[in-house]
Amino acid sequence: MSNDDWISRQSRKSLERLLPRMRAKLGPGDDALWETFEGRLNAHWDRLFRLLVQLYGWQYDFFFHLEQIMLMAVSAWGDRPDYLKAVDRDREENPQWFQSEQMTGGVLYVDLFSDKLAGLHEHIPYFKTLGLTYLHLMPLFAVPHGNNDGGYAVSDYRAINPDIGSIEELTALARILHNEGICLALDFVMNHTSDEHMWARQARAGNPDFQEYYLMFDDRGTVDQYQHHLRDIFPDIRRGSFTRDDQTGKWVWTTFNSFQWDLNYANPAVFRVMAEEMFFLANVGVQVLRLDAVAFIWKRMGTSCENLPEAHMLLQAFNALASIVAPSLLFKSEAIVHPDEVVRYIGKDECQLSYNPMLMALLWEALATRKVDLLTHAMRRRNRIDADCAWVNYLRCHDDIGWTFDDADALDLGIDPNGHRRFLNDFYTGNFPGSFATGMPFGYNPDTGDLRISGTLASLAGLEQALREKVPVLIEAAVQRINLLRSIMISAGGIPLIYIGDEWGMLNDYTYLSDPAKATDSRWVHRSRQRWQSRRDLTDPEALEWRFFNEIVKLIALRKQLPAMSNGAMEVIDTENPHLFGYIRAYGGQKLVIVNNFSEFLQTFPGAALNRAASDTRFIDRISGKPIPDGDNLVLGPYQFLWLECIPGSHS
């Protein structure tokens, strides 16, 4: 019997054995509930089983764990609220719903934005003015006091930080948002818990079952063997990936901060309890889960312990389980790694959505150099993903910017990759002569010279410096740069995600430096409590905040009128001008040629290049509403962008 026949047979047999036990878990009157569950089980069981066998089949008690996982899944399904079951059905019928040109995301910290969860719904009109259909709330769970890595050290996945609100409030908010056409996105901080999580406390107290939830070692020798191949994520805070726990005397694997204990996914009990936490969130009404730090979730001696095949299998197993219990739930991967590794997390059966860190980083690269060759080259080679999935395009998020591009792409263009990264770091920390940027260094590693960048969109794009120097032309240039980047975020293939604050041009906030829990982490410079009292400034439409706000509202509204903006595909074109980044968006019978000038000077887009992108057509620039004269070279102003709609066949 071939291996495949064998596993198919085992898969069927296991399902037969488990079916009655699962059925019994639901009440006798729940026939309809069971039928739906069984239908989805039949559709996804085989892939789930194969993944779990690969991950855990070698353990003598595998079948026990399998049963526990499936019984948990049935209970989660039984608990799923009716309105979410209806969402499940809708999304199963229209699995491409998130590809719509209507999709626009926003992300914010509840405490910084509205203090409390309870007050957040009052801002729904604001979200709707912006056009948001997706709202990501940064982690708001129970965390240790003081430094908790901005909420990424979770002590309890089922309790909200009491300073912010309660689970009941979150559940109510999810529903209200849903009724308003906004889906709730939340983090699933799956790589680690805080050292105050109940599991960690049990482990500390010596409970061996819970010690197996984490990666704890008695001897420094083993730790050193692992350590040899690992990179430091926060090198300026702490060297090495292990922390000695005083109470047990053991070394604990802590990839990030010492209070963030990595979970041991080689233990099937960890898979089960985390899946249970995942379904808890799904049943609260979370529709998009941002899977945090996915690159790190599996470890193997002798490797970098990043992006291992088992990390993908784990995500696929979570995906298969979600397809059975909560099929409307989308996964968004947060893998800020080499572009080719980022792409590997994206798939209908793994993560349907992913951040697009390469586009983000290279937009900043092009802004600094005024040249688009690396951006164009890399986007042509490395941006393609499965048509069933979508990029989430962003300019800033709560984290630092790292210069993630492929070294070979740079070398192809005669650029020395590491020298270029050094230049970009100098540029964005304002240390390069003539730089417009005001950014802060993050994560400096003295061994490698690596550095990443913190700062808000507006400060990095030059507004802070220009305002400080009070030079109107510099202010204007900064405004144009900000608008240029936002226009690309909104028009590139995928879902735009606004880091709330960037819609009105928030600047860096240095107050974190006086808070000991934050002072050593420069990412707080762009995690700010500054708020824009939009109503108060209403009388002054010339205020910069209003210009930024009105511009982004206009662009998002325009996006929503253009069918070509749906579906993630984008074809990067050769503009024959090193300062112009161009691409085609085409869908639903509409075609747009989008051209962006990354320099502060006039730039020509040759008529011939435009013709190659789209021939036999007239063009209307949807940004200005003006037709483009036939056949001519186009001249773009400083940092200007054009969204050219092709009007077919009507050459006059």
- Among 101, 196, 306, 334, the active-site one is 334
Q: Is 292 a catalytic residue?
A: yes
Burial level of 543, CB count in 10 A (0-12/13-18/19+)?
A: middle
CB of 399 to ligand GLC, least distance (A): 4
Closest to ligand GLC by CB, 524 or 605:
524
Q: CA-to-CA distance for 432 and 173, rounded, in angstroms?
A: 46
Closest to ligand GLC by CB, 263 or 610:
263
CB of 497 to ligand GLC, least distance (A): 13
What is the token pair recorded at 102? Answer: 């209507």
Q: CA-to-CA distance for 495 and 504, rounded, in angstroms?
A: 20
Largest CA distance in the chain: 82
CB of 421 to ligand GLC, least distance (A): 15
Q: CA-to-CA distance for 557 and 549, rounded, in angstroms?
A: 12
Q: What is the 3-state secondary structure (H, E, C) of 494-554?
A: CEEEEECCCCCCCCCCHHHHHCCCCCCCHHHHHCCCCCCCCCHHHHCCCCHHHHHHHHHHH
Q: Is 292 in the site for ligand GLC (CB under 6 A)?
A: yes
Closest to ligand GLC by CB, 76 or 336:
336
Q: Is 169 a catalytic residue?
A: no
CA angle at 130 for the pair 327 and 372, rounded to the nearest 5°: 90
Asked if 54 and 341 count as a contact pair (C-beta separation under 8 A), the reply is no
Q: Which of 88, 101, 149, 464 binds ligand GLC (CB under 6 A)?
A: 149
Contacts with ligand GLC in 319-338 (CB under 6 A)?
334, 336
CB of 440 to ligand GLC, least distance (A): 13
Say what the alpha-carbon torsion angle 642, 645, 648, 651 is, to the nearest 10 degrees: -40
CA angle at 403 for the pair 442 and 482, rounded to the nearest 5°: 85
Contacts with ligand GLC in 204-243 (CB under 6 A)?
233
> Binding-site residue total for ligand GLC (CB under 6 A)?
13
Q: Is 154 in the site for ligand GLC (CB under 6 A)?
A: no
Residue 165's closest CA among 111, 121, 123?
111
Q: CA-to-CA distance for 605 and 607, rounded, in angstroms?
A: 6
**x-or-dash pattern for ligand GLC, window 245-264, by CB under 6 A?**
-----------x--------
CB of 109 to ligand GLC, least distance (A): 11
Collapse the DSSP code of 424 into the 3-class scheme (helix H, G, I; strand E, B; otherwise coil) and give the result.
helix
Segment contacting ligand GLC (CB under 6 A): 13-21, 35-43, 145-153, 377-385? 145-153
Q: Which of 195, 277, 365, 399 binds ligand GLC (CB under 6 A)?
A: 399
Segment contacting ligand GLC (CB under 6 A): 13-21, 106-114, 147-155, 617-625? 147-155
CB atoms within 10 A of CB 40: 18
Full strand arrangement of the beta sheet holding 216-217: 216-217, 251-253, 242-244
Segment contacting ligand GLC (CB under 6 A): 148-156, 504-512, 551-559, 630-638? 148-156
Q: Is 400 in the site for ligand GLC (CB under 6 A)?
A: yes
Segment contacting ligand GLC (CB under 6 A): 42-50, 395-403, 481-489, 555-563? 395-403
Segment contacting ligand GLC (CB under 6 A): 41-49, 146-154, 626-634, 639-647? 146-154
> What positions carry a catalytic annotation?
292, 334
Residues at the interface with ligand GLC (CB under 6 A) = 149-150, 152, 189, 233, 256, 292-293, 334, 336, 398-400
